[in-house]
């Protein structure tokens, strides 16, 4: 039988990157006690009021088909949320409600890419980014980020990567996997560059509420002059610890939403109304639980960083945001892949090799801050032991 080219384009961009995580789960099923630091799945409880709202709306029979762009409850809540964030009026017509950030990213690229169009990726980048670009026929072009500069962007390097085929730049701040939060000046420079070369900016902002220390989150969508070329994707998966709800969205110009709506309706024709009502409550309400989550992740990150500060061959820096720490293992003389594999085999700690996130992730492992402080401290101890044995 004959198949489409999409499967070929996506071959090797899926489960292979998660092989160590999968093997860890297999060992756990056999009775091994494992410490999982591999997946960015929040371990803390979501606000109960959001769960109660979903349940209430189910009982109220909010179970029917939903508009392709989203229920009035959620697009109006999104309008209020982004109007407050940006300081200007963002209308309900500027949103598409979608099942999670992953779907939102794919929807963004299938809406703007033609086959052969290039998309700039700041490397390291999240493991599925290549797939959401390659699926619609695009070509990822990696722009290296320097780990010794905290994985912050080099504007000259970005401009040097632009060609006549470049269509968009994919931005992720706070970054998964690096934890970098790009400064307002960096976002402004990236925006000016994209405006100069008439590029789209697809901005994955799923970790925007997780900012640490004195860092400040900035989006290109905050700038009115960049609104027409910016497509924001986000969700309540991380911010409210509800990844299984699959409640995400796109924020963009009305023109983009109008153009993309026919694709959304063809693929999905709406999401569950009761979940959209729960998302509206999440957006409209400040919950102490979300503050506690952010504080917990920051404390865990500090515990890990402090636990490795006396190591001679591995190091880590405090993330500026997000829920991950990149551990630099280059001085051990082994790759991130080998280090993660040995950490699994010899110490029952499961983390992601940096090579799963692009070439510039090489020589690192990514640690997810999704276990309690006791396990984080124990994981740091085992990482230090492995590093010492390699030294």
Task: Measure the CA–CA gap between 139 and 148, rounded to whole angstroms.
Answer: 27
**Confidence class of residue 11 from pLDDT cuts 50, 70 and 90?**
confident
Assigned domain for 193 exists: yes
Residue-wise pLDDT tens digits, 338-375: 999 999 999 999 999 999 999 999 999 999 999 999 99
My answer on whether 305 and 265 are in the same domain is: no
Domain that holds residue 348: 5-45+288-390
Which structure tokens are listed for 208? Answer: 């925007």
Residue 59 domain flag: no
Q: Which one of 284, 319, 343 terminates a domain?
A: 284
Encode pLDDT of 121-133 as tens digits: 999 999 999 999 9
CB 152, CB 179: distance < 8 Å: no
Residue 247 pLDDT > 70 = yes
Mean pLDDT to the nearest integer, 222-229: 98
Query: Do 257 and 310 reside in the same domain of the chain?
Result: no
pLDDT for residue 16 is more than 90: no
**Residues near 383 by beta carbon (within 8 Å), at least 6 away in sequence:** 307, 308, 311, 314, 327, 343, 347, 349
Do 97 and 276 meet the contact criterion of CB atoms below 8 Å apart? yes
- Per-residue pLDDT, 5: 83
Q: What is the pLDDT of residue 14?
A: 65
In a domain, 116, yes or no: yes
235 in the same domain as 116 = yes
Nearest alpha carbon to residue 98 among 300, 267, 324, 286: 267
What's the CA gap between 163 and 167, in Å, rounded?
Answer: 9
Q: Are residues 114 and 182 in the same domain?
A: yes
Instruction: Give domain status of residue 56, yes or no.
Output: no
Match 């960083």 to its residue by tokens.
Answer: 305
Domain-terminating residue out of 284, 317, 351: 284
Rg (CA), the chain: 21
Q: Model confidence at 15, in pLDDT bands (50, 70, 90)?
A: low
- Helix/strand/coil for 164: coil
Predicted pLDDT of residue 95: 98
Does 83 lie in the same domain as 34?
no
Separation CA 286–CA 284 (nearest Å)? 7
pLDDT recorded at residue 251 = 98
Do residues 256 and 317 share a domain? no
Considering the domain boundaries, does residue 134 fall inside one? yes
Q: Would you state the structure tokens that stand for residue 317, as one six-digit string?
A: 């820096």
Which token pair is 383?
A: 């990482």
Q: What is the CATH number of the domain that holds 315?
A: 3.90.1150.10
pLDDT score of 263: 94
**Domain check: are 295 and 268 in the same one?**
no
| pLDDT tens digits along 168-187 | 999 999 999 999 999 999 99
Q: How far apart are CA 28 and CA 31, in angstroms?
A: 5
| 218 domain-assigned | yes
What ranges in 218-323 are assigned the alpha helix state H? Answer: 254-267, 273-284, 288-307
Final residue before a domain boundary, out of 284, 317, 340: 284
pLDDT band at residue 303 under the 50/70/90 scheme: very high
Look at the chain and report how many structural domains it folds into.
2
Q: Domain containing 245 — which CATH number?
A: 3.40.640.10
Choice between 349 and 15, residue whose per-residue pLDDT is larger:
349
- Mean pLDDT, the chain, rounded, equals 96
């Amino acid at each position: 039988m004959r198949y489409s080219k999409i499967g070929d384009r996506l071959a090797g961009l899926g489960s292979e990157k998660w092989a160590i995580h999968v093997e860890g789960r297999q060992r756990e099923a056999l009775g091994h006690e494992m410490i999982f630091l591999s997946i960015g799945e929040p371990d803390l409880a979501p606000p109960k009021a959001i769960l109660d709202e979903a349940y209430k709306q189910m009982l109220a029979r909010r179970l029917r088909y939903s508009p392709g762009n989203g229920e009035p409850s959620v697009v109006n809540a999104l309008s209020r949320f982004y109007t407050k964030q940006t300081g200007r009026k963002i209308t309900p017509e500027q949103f598409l409600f979608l099942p999670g950030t992953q779907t939102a990213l794919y929807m963004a690229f299938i809406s703007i890419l033609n086959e052969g169009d290039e998309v700039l990726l700041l490397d390291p980048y999240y493991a599925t980014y290549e797939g959401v670009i390659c699926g619609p026929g695009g070509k990822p072009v990696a722009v290296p980020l320097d780990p010794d500069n905290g994985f912050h962007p080099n504007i000259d390097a970005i401009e040097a990567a632009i060609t006549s085929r470049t269509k968009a730049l994919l931005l992720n701040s706070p970054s998964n996997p690096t934890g970098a939060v790009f400064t307002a000046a960096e976002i402004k420079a990236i925006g000016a560059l994209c405006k100069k070369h008439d590029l789209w900016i697809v901005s994955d902002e799923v970790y925007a509420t997780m900012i640490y220390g004195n860092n400040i989150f900035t989006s290109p969508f905050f700038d009115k002059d960049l609104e027409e070329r910016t497509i924001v994707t986000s969700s309540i998966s991380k911010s409210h610890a509800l990844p299984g709800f699959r409640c995400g969205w796109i924020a963009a110009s009305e023109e983009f939403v109008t153009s993309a709506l026919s694709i959304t309706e063809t693929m999905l024709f709406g999401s569950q109304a009761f979940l959209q009502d729960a998302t509206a409550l999440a957006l409209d309400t400040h919950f102490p639980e979300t503050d506690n989550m952010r504080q917990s992740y920051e404390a865990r990150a500090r515990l890990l960083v402090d636990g490795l500060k006396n190591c001679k061959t591995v190091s880590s820096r405090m993330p500026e945001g997000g829920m991950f720490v990149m551990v630099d293992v280059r001085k051990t003389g082994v790759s991130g892949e080998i280090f993660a594999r040995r950490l699994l085999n010899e110490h029952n700690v499961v983390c992601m090799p940096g090579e799963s996130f692009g070439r510039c992730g090489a020589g690192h492992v990514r640690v997810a801050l999704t276990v309690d402080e006791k396990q984080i401290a124990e994981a740091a101890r085992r990482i230090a032991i492995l590093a010492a044995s390699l030294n």
